[in-house]
């Protein structure tokens, strides 16, 4: 029988885990022709998430847990889950039921019958989200579309079902600074997109502050585009041109009208302005350098402290 691994990164989700488990069990009663493996990745939760998951694992052998040694972030959690998954198919889902499990049978059908390698989801609305967050998200996706050659779809969720081959390729991308929305697009393959309306969390609260999302978007930009570097070079050329024209203007004016000393406040303003632009461009270069620095250390993406996954199960 074929096997499906459902990977669920959890961070402080003790209330949501039982609700999620119940819902998944209900959905899989409808598809009895596939074996289920439910991998909860505990991403260093400070509450009783791991205890709740261990409780489920003791009653149900399909439940597996991977406990990370600290909070590594959702990206690392997903990677950890994929590296422990042994199914012929693997799906990534949030534990808060914002990714409707009811879509799974349809996703599975698309892969099995229509020959897709991956079925991904995107939400077509952002109902229930703060407007400012939606606005920034929209700007980010529009900008990424322009500056990156990798397709990064607006509203794309991490919720997707993949074949073993697809998962294997994702695992081969062992970069430390991970931006999965880009990595999934980068590996290629045939992806089918399903759309659904945004669903609000069942329990607990979002782990993403505005600040964290902003940093994550920088991760995406630096990881999938070098346009900011070209932009700073362009700014340099632009200011050289402006300076050249200004020099010509001043030479002509001095020859015509002499050189009365005045205008130092405007001079100071210009100097501060150019200084600001220079620091900004150095900052952009620094951001790329910092990412390169972190990559060269080759630190592991996650550290697993405890798990009940039998390593013999693991095909990787």
Quick one: 220 or 228, whose CB is closer to ligand UDP? 220
Q: How far apart are CA 94 and CA 77, in angstroms?
A: 11
Q: State yes or no: residue 96 binds Mg ion (CB under 5 A).
A: yes
Candidate list 4, 13, 84, 159; residue touching ligand UDP; CB under 6 A: 13
Q: Which of the residues 284 through 313 are near ligand UDP (CB under 6 A)?
A: none
Q: State yes or no: residue 99 binds ligand UDP (CB under 6 A).
A: no
The contacts of residue 296 (CB under 8 Å, 6+ apart) are: none
Q: By rule CB under 5 A, what string of x and - marks binding of each residue 76-95 to Mg ion?
A: ------------------x-
Quick one: 98 or 217, whose CB is closer to ligand UDP? 98
User: Buried b / exposed e across 34-44, counting CB within 10 Å, b at 16+?
Assistant: bebbbbbbbbb
Q: Nearest approach, Cβ of 96 to ligand UDP (angstroms)?
A: 5
Q: State yes or no: residue 123 binds ligand UDP (CB under 6 A).
A: no
Distances 67 to 22, 176, 302 between C-alpha atoms, Å: 21, 19, 10
Q: State yes or no: residue 88 binds ligand UDP (CB under 6 A).
A: no
Q: State yes or no: residue 73 binds ligand UDP (CB under 6 A).
A: yes
Token reading at 197: 């309306």
Candidate list 49, 83, 86, 98; residue touching Mg ion; CB under 5 A: 98
Q: Tally the C-alpha atoms within 13 A of residue 208's C-alpha that lie toward its C-beta.
A: 13
Q: State yes or no: residue 12 binds Mg ion (CB under 5 A).
A: no
Mind giving me the DSSP string for 111-166?
HHHH--SEEEEEES--TTS-HHHHHHHHHHHHHHHHH-SS---TTEEEEEEEEHHH
Q: State yes or no: residue 50 binds ligand UDP (CB under 6 A).
A: no
> What are the strands of the beta sheet with 191-196, ordered from one edge?
191-196, 118-123, 156-163, 89-92, 3-10, 35-42, 63-68, 304-307
Q: Nearest approach, Cβ of 253 to ligand UDP (angstroms)?
A: 58
Candidate list 15, 37, 43, 117; residue touching ligand UDP; CB under 6 A: 43
Q: Which part of the chain contacts ligand UDP (CB under 6 A), choosing from 3-11, 82-90, 240-248, 288-296? A: 3-11
SS3 207: coil
Tell me the number of residues near ligand UDP by CB under 6 A. Answer: 16
Residue 151: exposed, middle, or buried by beta-carbon count in 10 A (0-12, 13-18, 19+)?
A: middle
Residues that bind Mg ion (CB under 5 A): 94, 96, 98
Residues that bind ligand UDP (CB under 6 A): 9-11, 13, 43, 71, 73-74, 77, 94-96, 98, 206-208
């Amino acid at each position: 029988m074929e096997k499906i691994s459902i990977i669920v990164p959890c961070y402080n989700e003790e209330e949501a885990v039982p609700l999620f488990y119940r819902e998944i069990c209900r959905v899989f009663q409808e598809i009895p022709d596939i074996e289920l493996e439910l991998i909860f990745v505990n991403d260093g939760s400070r509450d009783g998430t791991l205890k709740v998951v261990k409780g489920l694992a003791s009653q149900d052998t399909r439940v597996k847990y991977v406990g990370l040694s600290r909070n590594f972030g959702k990206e690392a959690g997903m990677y950890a889950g994929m590296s422990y998954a042994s199914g012929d198919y693997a799906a990534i889902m949030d534990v808060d039921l914002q990714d409707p499990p009811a879509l799974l049978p349809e996703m599975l059908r698309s892969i099995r019958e229509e020959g897709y390698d991956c079925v991904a989801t995107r939400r077509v609305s952002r109902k229930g989200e703060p407007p400012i967050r939606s606005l920034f998200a929209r700007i980010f996706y529009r900008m990424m579309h322009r500056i990156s050659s990798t397709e990064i779809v607006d509203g794309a969720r991490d919720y997707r079902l993949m074949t073993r081959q697809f998962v294997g390729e994702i695992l081969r991308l062992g970069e430390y600074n991970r931006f999965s929305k880009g990595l999934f697009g980068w590996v290629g393959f045939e992806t089918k997109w399903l759309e659904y309306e945004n669903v609000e969390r069942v329990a607990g609260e979002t782990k993403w502050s505005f600040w964290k999302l902003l940093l994550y978007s920088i991760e995406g930009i630096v990881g999938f585009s070098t346009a900011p570097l070209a932009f700073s070079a362009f700014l340099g050329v632009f200011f050289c041109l402006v300076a050249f024209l200004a020099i010509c203007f001043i030479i002509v004016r001095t020859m015509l009208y002499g050189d009365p000393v005045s205008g130092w406040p405007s001079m100071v303003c210009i100097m501060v302005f150019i200084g600001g632009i220079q620091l900004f461009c150095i900052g952009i270069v620094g951001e790329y350098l910092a990412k390169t620095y972190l990559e060269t250390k080759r630190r592991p993406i996650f550290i697993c402290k405890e798990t009940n996954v039998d390593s013999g199960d693991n095909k990787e």
